[in-house]
Structure 1
């Protein structure tokens, strides 16, 4: 979704000379094009397309703007995400992540984590997105070798449940709320593209989602054709061997209404879809 001020442009957008008006026009163009293609494909082929957008949970104004979009456009689904804290992007660079951290109340990673999950709750509780986006994106640029001053432990060695209990409490609160209204949690392969050995969310949070009855869907978070389905074979291994899920869920359209469906892991593993990944590491 468009951001509402030039203050929130990413550095790469500034380099291209973008303004907030460009973001809004791009979004309108997307909706117009997507709904046109949806009508064409959904009526003439076996492919079903859903038109949706990713919520930008930057602040109260942006969360409210999501409601406006939902009332103005024919939207089938939403992905609820947080990319900014204290009006600073936390998913672009380590330097900006640290800037956001220094705007937290106590200027610690622990404080920034709490801010992240508190803001995530605002997105989830107010908008009830169909899919919870990259649940633990806050971890992407954390300074792993830094010592957490609140515990004396390196950030990389922090056990969220034991070492930062108030952060863990917020995580569990968000998960339970989302499970209660029926959201799906994406297993997002973009994390692997960015250097992780697993998708978002990492195993500690994924197991809590599973333990609370949460339902997972696949996501590549693709920003271009070359990223469509990228590293899905590694997500498959995570699903089968690490999380040991019984089903994978997905969104579908039934007479114009968005519904949740599932595929068993047995069927999931046997799909011909995986043949394209056979020679990949």
Structure 2
């Protein structure tokens, strides 16, 4: 009975593929107990559009329409498939500038989602996960220094968390994505960087956010899922809580690389994960203990 709280589809995300209902059907087929539908919230300025959105002639207004359509479809699917799976309707937030705190509040009033995935995709207004080219642009803006880029990432992440207070922390250390693999890991231990991510872990734990183990990092060729195993060790020391996420971008991504999770969790010393469910119209956190000794993973044998 796996779980995931981070997903996308090509129907509502330009870098995804396939229909949202097909994502849900695949989650049902694979035996997911809870699956979160969390399309990206819209961005609000022309300069914040991704290259793929510009090519598709999107505008900030059309992105808002797309999100409204997603919300309506996700609620329909939530009800339609309720006998087979618990679907949660959420959104993966954007936090490009400090104004996004107000945008997120307005979005939640118009579309009262069940939960928020708190992610950071930009540093200094430049996307860091879209392409190597844009990552290099962000790096250049920080004097070509990975230390400076990482520090800026975690400082902006702190501002996001203080404003938004998300239920789930999305890909905590996404800034590793296009860095040189050896350097990406070593920079996490630079004293200035380490102080920042430790500070952020402490702050997320204090506000009750859950850290996703995001398996999509393996699709990107990283050795560790998000977050890095050294960050996981600190989270465990501080009694932080973990959820699982596949960060699906289409039907074939549902449960992607979940076969690697048992070994990764064991290596990291994680024996308990947590999961969100909706009870009496409220989101609550439940515990799944002894996950490595459980029949939890048996459903994957039929995938």
Q: Which residue of 159, 177, 193 maps to 1:122?
A: 159
Please list, as runs of the form range in 1=range in 2, the aligned pairs for 1:109-258 lying within 5 A after superposition: 109-144=146-181, 155-156=183-184, 158=186, 160-161=188-189, 164-240=190-266, 242-258=267-283
- Off by >6 Å, runs of 4+ in structure 1: none
Q: Which residue of 96, 104, 111 maps to 1:66?
A: 104
- How many Å separate the matches in 2 of 1:205 and 1:266? 20
Q: Which residue of 75, 91, 95 maps to 1:57?
A: 95
Matched, 1:20 2:45: no
Structure of larger gyration radius = 1
Structure 2: gaps (5+ residues): 1-40
Count, aligned residues: 262
Bigger shift: residues 231-240 or 264-273: 264-273
Matched, 1:90 2:116: no
Once the two structures are TM-superposed, the CA of residue 155 in structure 1 deviates from its matched residue by: 2.3
Alpha-carbon RMSD across the aligned residues, in angstroms, is: 1.8
TM (norm. structure 1) is: 0.87
Larger RCO, structure (CA 8 Å, separation 6 or more): 2
Structure 1: gaps (5+ residues): 145-153
CA contact (8 A) 1:198 1:234 kept: no
- How many Å separate the matches in 1 of 2:61 and 2:185? 43
TM (norm. structure 2) is: 0.81
- How many Å separate the matches in 2 of 1:195 and 1:4? 32
CA contact (8 A) 2:271 2:292 kept: no
Q: Matched residue of 2:199: which SS?
A: helix
